[in-house]
Amino acid sequence: MQIIRDAQALNEAVAGLREGGRTIAFVPTMGALHEGHMALILEARTRADAVVASIFVNPTQFGPNEDLDAYPRREAADAAMLEKEGVAILWAPDAATMYPEGPAATIEASAIGDDLDGAARPGHFDGVATVVARLFDQVKPDFALFGEKDYQQLAVIRQMVRDFELAVEIVGVPTQRDADGLALSSRNAYLSDDERLAARTLPRALGEAAQAIAEGADVAEALDKARARLEGAGFEAIDYIDLRDAQTLVPMTLLDRPARLLAAAKIGRTRLIDNLPVERAQN
Ligand code: AMP
Protein backbone atom coordinates (compact mmCIF):
# COMPACT_ATOMS: atom_id res chain seq x y z
CA MET A 1 0.00 0.00 0.00
CA GLN A 2 1.30 3.44 -0.92
CA ILE A 3 0.76 6.18 1.67
CA ILE A 4 0.55 9.45 -0.27
CA ARG A 5 0.47 13.00 1.11
CA ASP A 6 1.23 15.02 -1.99
CA ALA A 7 -1.37 15.91 -4.66
CA GLN A 8 0.96 15.42 -7.63
CA ALA A 9 2.06 12.00 -6.34
CA LEU A 10 -1.59 11.04 -5.91
CA ASN A 11 -2.35 12.05 -9.48
CA GLU A 12 0.40 9.81 -10.80
CA ALA A 13 -0.52 6.88 -8.56
CA VAL A 14 -4.20 7.12 -9.53
CA ALA A 15 -3.26 7.24 -13.22
CA GLY A 16 -1.19 4.10 -12.68
CA LEU A 17 -4.09 2.32 -10.98
CA ARG A 18 -6.44 3.20 -13.83
CA GLU A 19 -4.15 1.82 -16.53
CA GLY A 20 -5.82 -0.69 -18.81
CA GLY A 21 -9.27 0.54 -17.81
CA ARG A 22 -9.05 -0.70 -14.23
CA THR A 23 -11.72 0.73 -11.91
CA ILE A 24 -11.31 2.41 -8.53
CA ALA A 25 -13.56 2.24 -5.47
CA PHE A 26 -12.95 4.97 -2.90
CA VAL A 27 -13.58 5.03 0.85
CA PRO A 28 -13.17 8.47 2.48
CA THR A 29 -12.69 8.47 6.26
CA MET A 30 -11.48 10.60 9.14
CA GLY A 31 -9.39 7.72 10.51
CA ALA A 32 -9.52 6.02 13.93
CA LEU A 33 -10.73 3.09 11.90
CA HIS A 34 -13.00 0.34 13.23
CA GLU A 35 -15.03 -2.52 11.77
CA GLY A 36 -17.60 -0.05 10.42
CA HIS A 37 -14.97 1.47 8.16
CA MET A 38 -13.63 -1.97 7.27
CA ALA A 39 -17.08 -3.05 6.07
CA LEU A 40 -16.84 -0.20 3.54
CA ILE A 41 -13.39 -1.40 2.46
CA LEU A 42 -14.62 -4.99 2.01
CA GLU A 43 -17.60 -3.81 -0.04
CA ALA A 44 -15.27 -1.56 -2.07
CA ARG A 45 -13.16 -4.59 -2.98
CA THR A 46 -16.17 -6.33 -4.47
CA ARG A 47 -17.01 -3.29 -6.62
CA ALA A 48 -13.79 -2.37 -8.35
CA ASP A 49 -10.30 -3.51 -9.35
CA ALA A 50 -8.51 -1.30 -6.82
CA VAL A 51 -9.42 0.40 -3.55
CA VAL A 52 -8.27 3.87 -2.49
CA ALA A 53 -8.95 5.03 1.08
CA SER A 54 -8.41 8.48 2.52
CA ILE A 55 -7.83 9.75 6.03
CA PHE A 56 -8.44 13.44 6.52
CA VAL A 57 -9.89 15.00 9.66
CA ASN A 58 -11.67 17.76 7.79
CA PRO A 59 -11.63 21.01 9.81
CA THR A 60 -14.40 22.63 7.76
CA GLN A 61 -17.03 20.14 8.92
CA PHE A 62 -16.38 20.80 12.62
CA GLY A 63 -18.11 23.64 14.42
CA PRO A 64 -16.15 26.05 16.67
CA ASN A 65 -17.12 24.20 19.86
CA GLU A 66 -16.76 20.70 18.47
CA ASP A 67 -14.10 18.03 18.92
CA LEU A 68 -11.66 18.81 16.04
CA ASP A 69 -8.58 18.91 18.29
CA ALA A 70 -9.69 15.96 20.42
CA TYR A 71 -10.72 13.80 17.45
CA PRO A 72 -8.77 10.50 17.73
CA ARG A 73 -5.79 10.24 15.38
CA ARG A 74 -3.89 6.97 14.98
CA GLU A 75 -2.64 6.78 11.43
CA ALA A 76 -0.10 3.98 11.86
CA ALA A 77 -2.69 1.54 13.20
CA ASP A 78 -5.19 2.68 10.55
CA ALA A 79 -2.65 2.14 7.77
CA ALA A 80 -1.93 -1.39 9.01
CA MET A 81 -5.66 -2.24 8.93
CA LEU A 82 -6.05 -0.87 5.41
CA GLU A 83 -2.96 -2.61 4.10
CA LYS A 84 -4.14 -5.93 5.50
CA GLU A 85 -7.36 -5.61 3.49
CA GLY A 86 -5.55 -4.96 0.23
CA VAL A 87 -6.04 -1.19 -0.11
CA ALA A 88 -3.78 0.10 -2.91
CA ILE A 89 -3.43 3.74 -1.88
CA LEU A 90 -3.94 5.58 1.40
CA TRP A 91 -4.43 9.25 0.60
CA ALA A 92 -3.52 11.21 3.76
CA PRO A 93 -3.17 14.90 2.91
CA ASP A 94 -2.73 17.65 5.49
CA ALA A 95 -5.05 20.68 5.60
CA ALA A 96 -2.68 22.84 3.51
CA THR A 97 -2.63 20.20 0.77
CA MET A 98 -6.40 19.82 0.82
CA TYR A 99 -7.08 23.55 0.97
CA PRO A 100 -4.04 25.23 -0.66
CA GLU A 101 -5.99 28.47 -1.08
CA GLY A 102 -7.63 28.25 2.32
CA PRO A 103 -11.39 27.71 2.42
CA ALA A 104 -11.81 29.65 -0.85
CA ALA A 105 -14.18 27.66 -3.06
CA THR A 106 -16.86 25.91 -1.06
CA ILE A 107 -19.87 23.87 -2.05
CA GLU A 108 -23.19 24.49 -0.41
CA ALA A 109 -25.00 21.28 0.50
CA SER A 110 -28.53 20.89 -0.85
CA ALA A 111 -31.58 21.52 1.34
CA ILE A 112 -31.30 17.91 2.52
CA GLY A 113 -28.47 19.18 4.75
CA ASP A 114 -30.44 22.05 6.28
CA ASP A 115 -32.09 20.40 9.27
CA LEU A 116 -31.45 17.44 11.61
CA ASP A 117 -27.63 17.38 11.93
CA GLY A 118 -27.45 20.47 9.71
CA ALA A 119 -29.51 22.43 12.26
CA ALA A 120 -27.59 21.06 15.22
CA ARG A 121 -24.24 21.62 13.44
CA PRO A 122 -24.56 24.72 11.22
CA GLY A 123 -22.32 24.52 8.14
CA HIS A 124 -21.46 20.88 8.78
CA PHE A 125 -22.81 19.50 5.51
CA ASP A 126 -21.32 22.35 3.46
CA GLY A 127 -17.98 21.25 4.90
CA VAL A 128 -18.74 17.61 4.08
CA ALA A 129 -19.89 18.38 0.52
CA THR A 130 -16.84 20.56 -0.11
CA VAL A 131 -14.29 18.02 1.07
CA VAL A 132 -16.00 15.08 -0.65
CA ALA A 133 -16.15 17.01 -3.95
CA ARG A 134 -12.42 17.76 -3.64
CA LEU A 135 -11.63 14.16 -2.76
CA PHE A 136 -13.63 12.93 -5.77
CA ASP A 137 -11.71 15.35 -7.97
CA GLN A 138 -8.39 14.10 -6.60
CA VAL A 139 -9.10 10.36 -6.59
CA LYS A 140 -11.43 10.17 -9.62
CA PRO A 141 -13.21 7.06 -8.35
CA ASP A 142 -15.76 4.97 -10.26
CA PHE A 143 -17.45 4.07 -6.95
CA ALA A 144 -17.46 5.78 -3.56
CA LEU A 145 -18.68 4.05 -0.41
CA PHE A 146 -20.38 5.71 2.53
CA GLY A 147 -21.96 4.26 5.67
CA GLU A 148 -25.68 4.40 6.38
CA LYS A 149 -24.57 5.24 9.93
CA ASP A 150 -24.29 8.84 8.67
CA TYR A 151 -27.56 8.63 6.78
CA GLN A 152 -28.06 12.35 6.18
CA GLN A 153 -24.49 12.63 4.92
CA LEU A 154 -25.16 9.79 2.46
CA ALA A 155 -28.33 11.57 1.26
CA VAL A 156 -26.47 14.91 0.89
CA ILE A 157 -23.72 13.26 -1.16
CA ARG A 158 -26.15 11.36 -3.39
CA GLN A 159 -27.90 14.69 -4.09
CA MET A 160 -24.59 16.46 -4.80
CA VAL A 161 -23.65 13.73 -7.29
CA ARG A 162 -27.04 14.16 -9.02
CA ASP A 163 -26.85 17.98 -8.99
CA PHE A 164 -23.35 18.13 -10.48
CA GLU A 165 -23.79 14.98 -12.60
CA LEU A 166 -20.57 13.59 -11.16
CA ALA A 167 -19.38 10.37 -12.82
CA VAL A 168 -19.18 8.36 -9.62
CA GLU A 169 -21.59 5.74 -8.29
CA ILE A 170 -22.42 6.17 -4.60
CA VAL A 171 -22.78 2.95 -2.62
CA GLY A 172 -24.39 2.96 0.85
CA VAL A 173 -23.24 0.30 3.33
CA PRO A 174 -25.41 -0.84 6.28
CA THR A 175 -24.44 0.29 9.78
CA GLN A 176 -22.06 -2.05 11.61
CA ARG A 177 -22.85 -2.48 15.31
CA ASP A 178 -21.30 -3.82 18.49
CA ALA A 179 -22.83 -6.98 19.96
CA ASP A 180 -25.10 -4.84 22.18
CA GLY A 181 -26.45 -2.89 19.22
CA LEU A 182 -24.51 0.36 19.58
CA ALA A 183 -23.40 1.61 16.16
CA LEU A 184 -19.61 1.55 15.84
CA SER A 185 -18.18 5.06 15.87
CA SER A 186 -14.78 6.61 16.39
CA ARG A 187 -16.50 8.87 18.95
CA ASN A 188 -17.53 5.88 21.13
CA ALA A 189 -13.96 6.08 22.48
CA TYR A 190 -15.03 9.21 24.39
CA LEU A 191 -17.63 7.29 26.45
CA SER A 192 -16.95 6.33 30.09
CA ASP A 193 -17.95 2.79 31.12
CA ASP A 194 -21.26 4.02 32.56
CA GLU A 195 -21.99 6.14 29.51
CA ARG A 196 -21.16 3.21 27.24
CA LEU A 197 -23.75 1.10 29.07
CA ALA A 198 -26.40 3.81 28.83
CA ALA A 199 -25.59 4.40 25.15
CA ARG A 200 -27.13 1.02 24.28
CA THR A 201 -30.50 2.61 24.87
CA LEU A 202 -30.17 4.65 21.67
CA PRO A 203 -30.40 1.70 19.23
CA ARG A 204 -32.93 -0.01 21.50
CA ALA A 205 -35.26 2.97 21.69
CA LEU A 206 -34.94 3.49 17.95
CA GLY A 207 -35.58 -0.20 17.28
CA GLU A 208 -38.72 -0.23 19.41
CA ALA A 209 -40.08 2.95 17.84
CA ALA A 210 -39.28 1.68 14.33
CA GLN A 211 -41.07 -1.57 15.00
CA ALA A 212 -44.09 0.13 16.58
CA ILE A 213 -44.43 2.55 13.67
CA ALA A 214 -44.02 -0.29 11.15
CA GLU A 215 -46.87 -2.09 12.90
CA GLY A 216 -49.15 0.94 12.68
CA ALA A 217 -48.53 2.87 15.93
CA ASP A 218 -49.09 6.63 15.95
CA VAL A 219 -45.81 8.22 14.82
CA ALA A 220 -45.82 11.12 17.33
CA GLU A 221 -46.60 8.78 20.22
CA ALA A 222 -43.88 6.34 19.26
CA LEU A 223 -41.35 9.19 19.01
CA ASP A 224 -42.43 10.59 22.41
CA LYS A 225 -41.95 7.18 23.97
CA ALA A 226 -38.48 6.82 22.47
CA ARG A 227 -37.55 10.33 23.67
CA ALA A 228 -38.70 9.50 27.21
CA ARG A 229 -36.70 6.29 27.14
CA LEU A 230 -33.53 8.13 26.12
CA GLU A 231 -34.03 10.74 28.83
CA GLY A 232 -34.62 7.96 31.37
CA ALA A 233 -31.34 6.31 30.37
CA GLY A 234 -29.37 9.52 30.98
CA PHE A 235 -29.22 11.16 27.56
CA GLU A 236 -29.10 14.85 28.45
CA ALA A 237 -29.79 16.60 25.17
CA ILE A 238 -31.80 15.02 22.40
CA ASP A 239 -31.04 17.05 19.29
CA TYR A 240 -33.70 15.22 17.29
CA ILE A 241 -35.56 11.98 16.91
CA ASP A 242 -37.68 12.04 13.82
CA LEU A 243 -39.28 10.02 11.03
CA ARG A 244 -38.22 11.11 7.56
CA ASP A 245 -38.75 10.11 3.93
CA ALA A 246 -35.98 7.61 3.21
CA GLN A 247 -34.79 9.52 0.14
CA THR A 248 -35.65 13.21 0.50
CA LEU A 249 -35.52 13.27 4.33
CA VAL A 250 -38.66 15.43 4.45
CA PRO A 251 -40.63 14.95 7.70
CA MET A 252 -43.32 12.26 7.79
CA THR A 253 -46.19 11.95 10.22
CA LEU A 254 -47.74 8.91 8.53
CA LEU A 255 -45.94 5.82 7.30
CA ASP A 256 -47.17 5.95 3.70
CA ARG A 257 -43.81 5.31 2.00
CA PRO A 258 -40.34 3.99 2.92
CA ALA A 259 -39.01 5.98 5.85
CA ARG A 260 -35.98 6.39 8.04
CA LEU A 261 -36.02 6.99 11.77
CA LEU A 262 -33.09 9.22 12.74
CA ALA A 263 -31.80 10.39 16.10
CA ALA A 264 -28.97 12.40 17.61
CA ALA A 265 -28.47 12.73 21.35
CA LYS A 266 -25.74 13.64 23.81
CA ILE A 267 -24.61 11.47 26.65
CA GLY A 268 -22.09 13.27 28.84
CA ARG A 269 -20.06 15.27 26.34
CA THR A 270 -20.40 12.76 23.53
CA ARG A 271 -22.89 13.23 20.73
CA LEU A 272 -24.17 9.99 19.24
CA ILE A 273 -26.21 9.52 16.06
CA ASP A 274 -28.09 6.50 14.76
CA ASN A 275 -30.87 5.61 12.34
CA LEU A 276 -32.98 2.69 11.18
CA PRO A 277 -35.18 1.92 8.17
CA VAL A 278 -38.94 1.85 8.72
CA GLU A 279 -41.27 0.12 6.30
CA ARG A 280 -44.85 -0.93 6.86
CA ALA A 281 -44.97 -4.46 8.23
CA GLN A 282 -46.51 -6.98 5.79
CA ASN A 283 -49.43 -8.93 7.24
P1 AMP B 1 -15.84 8.81 9.49
O2 AMP B 1 -14.42 8.34 9.61
O3 AMP B 1 -16.59 8.83 10.77
O4 AMP B 1 -15.97 10.07 8.69
O5 AMP B 1 -16.57 7.70 8.64
C6 AMP B 1 -16.09 7.34 7.36
C7 AMP B 1 -17.12 6.49 6.68
O8 AMP B 1 -17.37 5.31 7.46
C9 AMP B 1 -18.48 7.20 6.54
O10 AMP B 1 -19.03 6.89 5.28
C11 AMP B 1 -19.28 6.61 7.65
O12 AMP B 1 -20.67 6.62 7.42
C13 AMP B 1 -18.76 5.19 7.68
N14 AMP B 1 -19.03 4.57 8.97
C15 AMP B 1 -18.67 5.04 10.20
N16 AMP B 1 -19.15 4.22 11.16
C17 AMP B 1 -19.82 3.22 10.53
C18 AMP B 1 -20.56 2.08 10.97
N19 AMP B 1 -20.70 1.79 12.25
N20 AMP B 1 -21.12 1.29 10.02
C21 AMP B 1 -21.00 1.56 8.71
N22 AMP B 1 -20.32 2.64 8.23
C23 AMP B 1 -19.74 3.45 9.13
CA-CA distances (angstroms) from residue 227 to 5, 22, 79, 211, 274? Answer: 44, 49, 39, 15, 14
Which pLDDT value is given to residue 83? 98
Mean pLDDT of the chain: 96
Question: So what's the pLDDT on residue 283?
Answer: 62
CA of 149 to the centre of ligand 1 (A): 6
Which atom of ligand 1 is least distant from the CA of 174?
Answer: 21
Task: Return the C-alpha torsion angle 123, 125, 131, 135, nearest 10.
Answer: -170
Residues with CB under 6 Å of ligand 1 are 29-30, 36-37, 39-40, 146-147, 149-150, 173, 175-176, 183-186
> In this structure, are residues 158 and 177 in contact, taking their beta carbons and an 8 Å threshold?
no
Phi, psi of 233 (to 5 degrees): -85, -10
Q: What is the pLDDT of residue 103?
A: 67
Q: For residues 73 and 95, give the distance between their C-alpha atoms in angstroms, rounded to a whole number.
A: 14
Buried residues in 95-128 as b, exposed as e (16+ CB within 10 A): eebbbeeeeeeebebbebbebbbbebbebbbbbb
pLDDT at 102: 78
Q: Could you tell me the pLDDT band of residue 261, with boundaries at 50, 70 and 90?
A: very high
Evaluate if pTM is beyond 0.85: yes
A 10 A CB-CB count for 36 gives 20
d(CA 265, CA 89): 35
Q: How many angstroms is it from 189 CA to the middle of ligand 1?
A: 14
CA–centroid distance, residue 31 to ligand 1 (Å): 10
Query: Cα(121)–Cα(75) distance, rounded to whole angstroms?
Result: 26
Question: What positions carry a catalytic annotation?
Answer: 37
